[in-house]
């Protein structure tokens, strides 16, 4: 065993990346930037970057990069750590370990590119994950993991409401599940399951007419965070 005094600390860089998911135009979409600098200049990638200093907190770095590269305020998003990626060779510049954050947002405003980003866009994840779509670094893998995180969390948490406006109908909520899971749900069965979860929804007492028929009840997100029992997607989703 080597003498501890002879050990060397590997030189690695630490970065943060952000997978920001939203529902737009009837599809699950992710925010991407077009890189303005090498490597992979001109290619699509997740927003993110290196820590500004050795004293910068990871969460602060994530919110800073989000603001600098897309103009978005992290305080308006549901933001959580996804996982850490550190495979050798994932960045041609040097050994880079990145901590990826995943964010969920309703009605995401149009992003505005800044910092090292040439452009910022929203793209359907279905298009992004196609084999022929080129994404910089290992970001396609990260995006696939972020999408699966969203799909899985809808099964056992109340995260779906984070994709809705502050006040929403049962149909609005059901459409979130259908879009994220990519499957159609029975409206009556869905209503029964959701209303059976204490604290998931809080009725506002108001109704809204968006289509012919009886006006739909409006709800707000309640304090519950866990679905019990879980609402599982089909095995094919």
Mean per-residue pLDDT pooled into runs of 10, the chain (237 residues): 72 95 94 95 96 95 90 85 96 97 85 82 96 97 97 96 94 97 96 95 93 88 94 77
Residue 107, pLDDT score: 75
Separation between Cα atoms, residue 236 and residue 18, nearest integer Å: 28
* b/e 3-12 (16+ beta carbons within 10 angstroms → b): eeeeeeeeee
Residue the block writes with tokens 């679905």: 227
Q: For residue 77, what pLDDT is reported?
A: 84
Q: Which DSSP letter does residue 161 get?
A: G
DSSP code of residue 90: S
- Nearest CA-CA partner of 206 in 196, 220, 187: 220
**Contacts of residue 156, Cβ cutoff 8 Å, sequence gap at least 6:** 226, 227, 230, 231
Give the pLDDT confidence score for residue 235 in this predicted structure. 65
Report residue 197 as tokens. Answer: 């979860």
How many Å apart are CA 92 and CA 155, to the nearest integer? 38
If we measure between CA atoms, which residue out of 13, 82, 4 comes closest to residue 51?
A: 13
12: three-class secondary structure by DSSP:
coil
């Amino acid at each position: 065993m080597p003498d501890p005094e002879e050990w060397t600390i590997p030189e690695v860089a630490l970065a943060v990346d952000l997978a920001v998911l939203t529902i737009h135009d009837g599809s699950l979409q992710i925010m991407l930037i077009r890189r303005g600098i090498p490597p992979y200049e001109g290619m699509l990638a997740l927003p993110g970057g290196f820590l500004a200093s050795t004293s910068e907190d990871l969460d602060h770095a994530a919110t800073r990069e989000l603001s600098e590269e897309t103009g978005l305020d992290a305080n308006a998003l549901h933001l959580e750590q996804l996982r850490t990626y550190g495979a050798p060779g994932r960045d041609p510049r040097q050994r880079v370990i990145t901590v990826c954050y995943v964010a969920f947002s309703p009605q995401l405003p149009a992003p505005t590119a800044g910092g090292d980003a040439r452009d910022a866009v929203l793209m359907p994840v279905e298009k992004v994950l196609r084999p022929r779509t080129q994404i910089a670094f290992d970001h396609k893998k990260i995006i696939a993991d972020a999408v699966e995180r969203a799909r899985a969390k809808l099964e056992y948490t109340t995260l779906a409401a984070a994709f809705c406006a502050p006040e929403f109908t049962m149909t609005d909520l059901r459409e979130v599940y259908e879009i994220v899971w990519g499957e159609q749900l029975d409206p009556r069965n869905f209503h029964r399951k959701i209303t059976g979860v204490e604290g998931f929804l809080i009725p506002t007492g108001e109704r809204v007419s968006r289509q012919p028929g009886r006006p739909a009840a409006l709800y707000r997100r309640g304090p519950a965070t866990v679905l019990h029992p879980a609402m599982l997607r089909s095995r094919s989703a």
